[in-house]
Amino acid sequence: MPQSGTDKVLIFEPRGEKFEEVPRIVKTDEEWRAVLTEESYRVARKKGTEPPFTGKYHNFHGKGIYRCICCGTALFRSDTKFESGTGWPSFWAPIDGHNIRTAPDTSLFMTRTEVLCARCGAHLGHVFDDGPPPTHQRFCMNSASLNFDPDHA
């Protein structure tokens, strides 16, 4: 991921269709707890997961952008969302590869690829190689890690 230094990150902002160099967001657990619900804190900051079919976006069909609950970084467009049948909101591509990062996850006795917000490090979910064309990827996200920003056009 291109960066100009350890305290900045390059992020694509769809409102304006441009890349922006923004400060990386680092907060203490106390600071995160003060601005997030208990569920969002557990999922986004402590790498939890919400039960399937319970998140506010698993069966949601609004038009707009899904953003990080912690820092507002644009993550997914609604036109890449699809019904995966898994019980979590699923997308076939991120809004831009700069806005997320991935890391190996070997928890729960399996190997998966964790998806994180590139700006604040929030745990978003996991990506799998069983999605639809054109990418054949399934970004399986937690609603508790997302905010929806509706299109105003």
Q: Which are the contacts of 96, defined by CB distance < 8 A and separation ≥ 6?
A: 11, 12, 74
Neighbours of 111 (CB within 10 A): 9
Instruction: Give the pLDDT confidence score for residue 75 in this predicted structure.
Output: 98
Instruction: Give the pLDDT confidence score for residue 6 in this predicted structure.
Output: 66
- Residue 140 bears catalytic tag: yes
Q: What are phi and psi of 3, to 5 degrees?
A: -145, 155
Q: Is 70 exposed, middle or buried (0-12, 13-18, 19+ CB in 10 A)?
A: buried
Q: What is the fold, at CATH topology level, of the domain defined by 8-150?
A: 2.170.150
Would you call 80 helix, strand, or coil by DSSP?
Answer: helix
pLDDT along the chain (153 residues), means of 10: 64 94 96 97 97 96 97 97 96 98 90 97 97 97 97 64
Nearest-angstrom CA–CA distance, 13 and 10: 10
| Domain boundary assignment for the chain | 8-150
Instruction: Give the pLDDT confidence score for residue 110 in this predicted structure.
Output: 87
Catalytic residue (choose from 70, 71, 117, 140): 140
